[in-house]
Amino acid sequence: MHADDIYHLLATGACPEACWGATWRYLDHLGFDRVIYLATSDISDRPSVRTTMPDGFQSFYMDNGYTQDDPFLQYCLSSPVPIDTGKAHMDQYAYLTGRQKDLIATAGDEGFNAGFSVAVRYPSTHGPEGWNLGSSQSAREVEAIKAAHLEQIKPLLFGLSGRLGAAGPTVVLSRRETQCLDLLSRGLRIKAIAVELGIKPVTVDMHLSNARKKMNAPTTKNLLRKYWETAEKAKGGHADPHASF
C-alpha cells in the first residue's frame, strides 16, 4: 500500500471504510502499528474513533468514559506542532491526572509505547480532529520514522480530514474487523479471507459478526449494503437497492 493509492481513493470518492483500511495499512507499513484517529463534531458529545489498537484497549477506553477526558483530545489536538505521546514520554507531562496516566499506561501495556500527534483540524465550532501515530517500537525508533516520513504523511492525513465518518456516530472497528470487511467487500469468501489473513474461517466469522453489531447490520448482506451505500453517498450518488452480494 502506497500513499498514491490513498490519494486515488480520495479522488474517486471512496467510502470511509475503504479510506481507513488503506490508510492504516500504509501507516503500519511505515512502522505505526498502533494508530488512533479521533474526531469530534458539534452534533455529538462523543468523538468518532478508529484505531488499530487491540479490542481490549478499545473496550477499556469506552467503558471507562475516556471520551470525556482523553489527554490526546484535551492537549494534543490543540497543537499544530506534533506532540510526543505514549508510555515512553508520559513522565514529560506533569500536568496529567492519575486517571489520564492510567489510560496511557494501559495503552502501553497493549503495545502503544511511543508516538506523536498530527492535528488536522484545530478546536473550532466543528471540534478538533487528528491522529495519534503510535508504535510498539522504542521512542528513538519512532523519532527516526517521524524524521523520515512526517512531511509525506501530513498532507495525506490533512486530505483525509472529514473523510472517515467524523460527523457520524462513533464506530470503533478493530484492525481484524476492518481487514475482514475490506476483503469481503472485494468479493472474497470466508475461506479465502481466512487464507489471506492466516486465520481460521471461524475467526473470520467472529470478526464479521462483531462488525455487524457495531455497524447495526443484522446480516452480512446488510453489512455489505451499508458499505456500498456509504461509498455511493461519498460520491454524491445513490446506492442500487437491488445490488447483489
pLDDT in tens, 119-154: 987 665 567 889 999 999 999 999 999 999 999 999
pLDDT of residue 41: 67
Query: Per DSSP, which regions of the chain are E strands?
Result: 34-41, 44-51, 84-85, 114-121, 129-135
**Going from the N-terminus, what domains does the chain have, and what CATH number goes with each?**
31-159 (3.30.450.80), 175-234 (1.10.10.10)
pLDDT band of 166, cuts 50, 70, 90: very low
Q: Name the β-bridge partners of 51.
A: 36
For residue 130, the number of C-alpha atoms closer than 13 Å in the C-beta half-sphere is: 28
pLDDT of residue 144: 97
Segments in the chain forming alpha helices (H): 3-11, 16-30, 55-63, 71-74, 98-109, 139-159, 175-185, 190-197, 201-214, 220-234
pLDDT in tens, 187-234: 899 999 999 999 999 999 988 888 888 777 777 787 877 766 654 544
Determine the average pLDDT of the residues in 154-175: 71
CA distance 41 to 48: 8
pLDDT band of 173, cuts 50, 70, 90: low
Give percent of the chain with pLDDT exceeding 90.
40
pLDDT of residue 234: 43
Instruction: Tell me the backbone φ, ψ of residue 123, rounded to 5 degrees.
Output: -50, 130
pLDDT of residue 165: 64
Is the pLDDT confidence value at 241 over 60?
no
- State the burial class of residue 139 (Cβ atoms within 10 Å of its Cβ: 0-12, 13-18, 19+): middle
Instruction: Using only the alpha carbons of the chain, give its radius of gyration.
Output: 18
Is the pLDDT confidence value at 18 over 90?
no
| Stronger pLDDT, 104 or 233, i.e. the higher one | 104
pTM of the predicted structure, to 2 decimals:
0.67
pLDDT of residue 228: 64
